[in-house]
Amino acid sequence: MSYPNLLKPLDLGFTTLKNRVLMGSMHTGLEETKDWNRVAEFYAERARGGVALMVTGGMAPNREGGVFPGAAGLFSDEDIANHRVVTERVHAAGGKIAMQILHAGRYAYGPECVAPSPVKSPISPFPPRELDEAGIEKQIADIATAAARAKEAGYDGVEVMGSEGYFINQFLVTHTNKREDRWGGSYENRMRLPIEVVKRVRAAVGPEFIVIYRLSMIDLVPNGSSFDEVIQLAKEIEKAGATILNTGIGWHEARIPTIATSVPRRAFTWVTKKLMGHVSVPVITSNRINTPEVGEAVLAEGCADMISMARPFLADPHFVAKAEAGKAATIAPCIACNQACLDHTFSGKISSCLVNPKACFETELLVEPTSVPKTIAVVGAGPAGLSAALTADERGHQVTLFDKAEEIGGQLNMAKQVPGKEEFWGLVDWYRTMLEESHVTMKLEAEVGADDLVGFDEVIVATGVVPRDPQIEGQDGPNVLSYIDVLRNKAPVGDRVAIVGAGGIGFDVSEFLVTDESPTENLEEWLEEWGVTDPGEHRGGLAPEGPQPEKPARQITLLQRKSEKLGKRLGKTTGWIHRAALAMKDVQMVAGVNYERIDEAGLHVSKGEAREDPTVIKVDTVVLCAGQVSERSLADALEAKGQSVHVIGGADVAAELDAKRAIDQGTRLAASL
C-alpha cells in the first residue's frame, strides 16, 4: 500500500515539511538528565526515521510555570547551548524540530503555581496564586522570551501549549477563570491571553519561524468551550500569527480516557474535522493514530492536513521511513498501554517503550553485530523469548526458537482476547512478520527437554508461568475455571461469576466476562459509553445524560484478600480507567476476604483475621485469577545437568510479570551475548 496523502510535502511558505507526520510532544524525562548527547540521539534517531517535524517535551517558560519544581526550560545561555546540541544533531540527520513551551498554570506540581483564578485543580495538591495584571504580563513576556531563546538555540519552531487544561487553556473557560477584569468575563476577554501570547511569540521570533498553537478542541470537562468558541479562537490565533494549529483532546482532569489502549483508533479525528474550512493555516489531528493506514485514511477523509503521533515514535523511530519503503508490517506497533512511557513519567522515571526498550536508551542499549557468532536456543516464544531471539538474530547469532504451542505469542494471545486490548493482535502479528524477516529457525509444537538442547553455545529459557494454585477447598468442582479456561479455551461461563484475585488478570477476565462486543471496535458505542458527544451541541463535548454503558453481560463479583482498594497496583495512568469501566458494568469489588470453600451454592468467604461474617457469594462459576508462578522445570533440569542457562521473563520472576519486563530483559540479555 502507498500513502499518497501521508507522504505528501506540506509547503508552509518559508519552509516545507517533507511529509504530513508530526511527532507530538512527549515528556520523556531525558532533558532533566542533562545528558545532552543522549537527548540529541533520541531526537536524531527519529529524524533519521523520516518524520517531518518533531515537538520536544514541554519546556517551562519560567519557574512558576514548570510542571514540577526543576522542570527543564531555557533559562540561561548554558541552557541555550545545550539545546543547540540537540537541534544541530537533528538538522544533520535531515530533520526539523520545534520546542514546546508549556506553562502548567494550576497543574504545576509546586507551591509557586499561578493561574487566572485561585481555583485548585483536582489533580494537584497545590492551590494556585491568582495573578494580578503585572503577573499576567510577566507570564506572557516569559513565554515570548522562551520562544526567542528557542530560536536562538536553533529550533525550527515552537509549539505553544494551549490545551489539555494547562495555563493558557485555564483562561478560556469559566470554571477556572473567574476574573472580572479584561482577562475574564466575556469570551472576548477570556481569549485575550492566548491571542496576546501568540502575537508576542510571533513578534519575538519573526515571520520565518514555525509557530504551532495546540488548541483544545474538546475539553471533556463540565462548562468547557463550545465549538463556536473553538472556531472563534482558532480564527483569532491564526490572525495573531500561528503557522499551524494542532489538536488537543481533553483536559488532564477529564474522567474520560483519551489515549489509552481501550480508546478506539482515531477516536477524535472527527472533532478536528469540524474545524476544517474555518481557518486557512494547516490543521493537525491527533490521538490513537498508530499505523500508516489509519493516518492515510484520516487525511484522505479530510479530517486534517497533517497527523500527530507521539508514542508510536517510541515504539518505532523509523515509522515513516518504513511506510515509505512499503514495509509498514515491520513497524513496531504502539499498543497504547502507557506502561513504559506515561506510567514512567508519572513515577519520575525516564520513559521508554514496552515494545521497544531502546527508546530513550539509544546511547545505552546498543544492539551491535557480534564478532563471535554463536548458536543460541531460545525456549518459549512469548514476549521474553521473542525479543531475545530477534535481538540475537539481529546481531548475527544463529538462533533456534522453540515453543510447545502451535502459535507464537505466549500470554499475549490471552491479552488480545480482552475487550479493549485488541492492539495486542497487532503486536503478535508484528512479531510474526519480524520472525519471517529474520534468520531465526522457528520450531513450533516442539516440547523440548534438557537433552534436546545439548550442543548449543547458549540456552535461553523463557518458558513463562503457570497459574498459582490458591488451594481453596472445592476448587476442583465443575463450577470452577482458571483464567486460561476462560480466555484461551473459551469454556462456558455462567451468568453470575465470582473472580478470585484482582490483579491485572482478574481485571482483564472481568472485562472479558461483562462485555458482549468490545466498544473499542465501535466508536459510536464507545463515545456513548463514556458520555462523549459533539462539542457543537454540548459544551466541552460532555453528553448531558452522562455515560451510557451497555448492560453488563454477566453479574460479576471481583475479590481479593488484601484490604486495599482493588486495582491499586494497576498502571499509574490506566488503573482508573479499568476501575471506572468495571464500575460502569456494576462489577462488585470486594477486598479483605478469606476464601473458605467453593461448593454448588457458590464461593464461601469470611472477613479479616478472625474469619468473621461468613457469607456465600451465590454464583454459577468461580474463575481463579490468583496470580502465577514461574515455569522453571526446564531451567532446573538444565542446571541439574550442569549446563549454563539464562532464565528470562516469567520463568525468572513471575511476580510483577508483564510484557514490559519480559521484553526488556530478553532484549538486554541478547544484546550482551
> Which residues share a beta bridge with 604?
597, 616
Which is closer to ligand NAP, CB of 357 or CB of 531?
Answer: 357
User: Which of ligand NAP, ligand SF4, none interacts with 656 (beta carbon under 5 to 8 A by kind)?
Assistant: ligand NAP
User: Which of ligand SF4, ligand NAP, none interacts with 389 (beta carbon under 5 to 8 A by kind)?
Assistant: none
Cα(first)–Cα(last) distance of the chain, in Å? 38
Do residues 90 and 43 make contact, with C-beta atoms less than 8 angstroms apart?
Answer: yes
- Cell 485561585 identifies what position? 118
7, 136, 201, 336: which one binds ligand SF4 (CB under 6 A) = 336
Task: Kindly give the pairing relationship between strand 496-500 and strand 621-624.
Answer: parallel
Rg (CA), the chain: 26
Does the footprint of ligand NAP cover residue 571 (CB under 6 A)?
Answer: yes
Which is closer to ligand SF4, CB of 235 or CB of 569?
Answer: 569
205, 341, 453, 659: which one binds ligand SF4 (CB under 6 A) = 341
22, 60, 144, 315: which one binds ligand SF4 (CB under 6 A) = 315
Sign of CA dihedral 289, 292, 295, 301: negative
245, 328, 353, 603: which one binds ligand SF4 (CB under 6 A) = 353
Cell of 456: 548449543
Cell of 424: 495486542
Does the footprint of ligand NAP cover residue 419 (CB under 6 A)?
Answer: no
Least Å distance, CB 601 to ligand NAP, is 19
Which is closer to ligand SF4, CB of 337 or CB of 435?
Answer: 337
Do residues 272 and 217 make contact, with C-beta atoms less than 8 angstroms apart?
Answer: yes
| Secondary structure class of 240 (helix, strand, coil) | helix
Which is closer to ligand NAP, CB of 19 or CB of 560?
Answer: 560
Phi, psi of 310 (to 5 degrees): -115, -70
Phi, psi of 130 (to 5 degrees): -75, 135
| Secondary structure class of 478 (helix, strand, coil) | coil
User: Which of ligand SF4, ligand NAP, none interacts with 95 (beta carbon under 5 to 8 A by kind)?
Assistant: none
- Close Cβ partners of 370 (under 8 Å, ≥ 6 residues apart): 395, 396, 397, 673
Which is closer to ligand SF4, CB of 164 or CB of 658?
Answer: 658
Which is closer to ligand SF4, CB of 126 or CB of 576?
Answer: 576
User: Which of ligand SF4, ligand NAP, none interacts with 571 (beta carbon under 5 to 8 A by kind)?
Assistant: ligand NAP
SS3 of 191-216: the string is: CHHHHHHHHHHHHHHCCCCEEEEEEE
Least Å distance, CB 481 to ligand SF4, is 30
Closest C-alpha to 303, from 274, 262, 342, 333:
274
* Catalytic (active-site) positions: 166
Which is closer to ligand SF4, CB of 147 or CB of 310?
Answer: 310
User: Which of ligand SF4, ligand NAP, none interacts with 503 (beta carbon under 5 to 8 A by kind)?
Assistant: ligand NAP
User: Which of ligand NAP, ligand SF4, none interacts with 159 (beta carbon under 5 to 8 A by kind)?
Assistant: none
Least Å distance, CB 667 to ligand NAP, is 18
Task: Kindly give the pairing relationship between strand 480-482 and strand 621-624.
Answer: parallel
Closest C-alpha to 461, from 627, 642, 629, 637:
637
DSSP symbol at 50: T
Does the footprint of ligand SF4 cover residue 320 (CB under 6 A)?
Answer: no
182, 349, 562, 618: which one binds ligand NAP (CB under 6 A) = 562
25, 291, 339, 482: which one binds ligand SF4 (CB under 6 A) = 339
CA dihedral 450, 456, 462, 468 (to 10 degrees): 10
Number of residues binding to ligand SF4, judged by CB under 6 A:
14
Which is closer to ligand SF4, CB of 151 or CB of 311?
Answer: 311
Least Å distance, CB 161 to ligand SF4, is 20
Does the footprint of ligand SF4 cover residue 335 (CB under 6 A)?
Answer: yes
Sign of CA dihedral 508, 220, 280, 153: negative
User: Which of ligand NAP, ligand SF4, none interacts with 355 (beta carbon under 5 to 8 A by kind)?
Assistant: ligand SF4
Amino acid at the residue 257: P
How far apart are the C-alpha atoms of 295 and 303, rounded to whole Å?
10
561, 572, 597, 607: which one binds ligand NAP (CB under 6 A) = 561
Tell me the per-residue interface mask from 487 to 526 with ligand NAP, x by CB under 6 A, - otherwise.
Answer: -------------xxxxxxx-x------------------
Does the footprint of ligand SF4 cover residue 263 (CB under 6 A)?
Answer: no
Does the footprint of ligand SF4 cover residue 570 (CB under 6 A)?
Answer: no
| Secondary structure class of 227 (helix, strand, coil) | helix
Does the footprint of ligand NAP cover residue 628 (CB under 6 A)?
Answer: yes
Residue number closest to ligand NAP, CB atom: 503
Do residues 625 and 350 make contact, with C-beta atoms less than 8 angstroms apart?
Answer: no
Do residues 355 and 663 make contact, with C-beta atoms less than 8 angstroms apart?
Answer: yes
- Cell 540537540 identifies what position? 86
User: Which of ligand NAP, ligand SF4, none interacts with 336 (beta carbon under 5 to 8 A by kind)?
Assistant: ligand SF4
The CA distances from residue 426 to 357, 407, 423, 429, in Å, are 18, 14, 5, 5
Cell of 130: 491568582
User: Which of ligand NAP, ligand SF4, none interacts with 44 (beta carbon under 5 to 8 A by kind)?
Assistant: none
How far apart are the C-alpha atoms of 454 and 169, rounded to whole Å?
64
- Cell 480516557 identifies what position? 257
46, 83, 266, 311: which one binds ligand SF4 (CB under 6 A) = 311
337, 434, 570, 622: which one binds ligand SF4 (CB under 6 A) = 337
Least Å distance, CB 283 to ligand SF4, is 24
Closest C-alpha to 623, from 466, 477, 433, 456:
477
How far apart are the C-alpha atoms of 10 and 32, rounded to whole Å?
33
246, 356, 555, 560: which one binds ligand NAP (CB under 6 A) = 560
Least Å distance, CB 396 to ligand NAP, is 33
Give the footprint of ligand NAP on residues 450-489 (CB under 6 A).
468, 470
Contacts to ligand NAP by CB under 6 A: 468, 470, 500-506, 508, 560-562, 570-571, 625-628, 656-658
Contacts to ligand SF4 by CB under 6 A: 311, 314-315, 334-341, 353-355
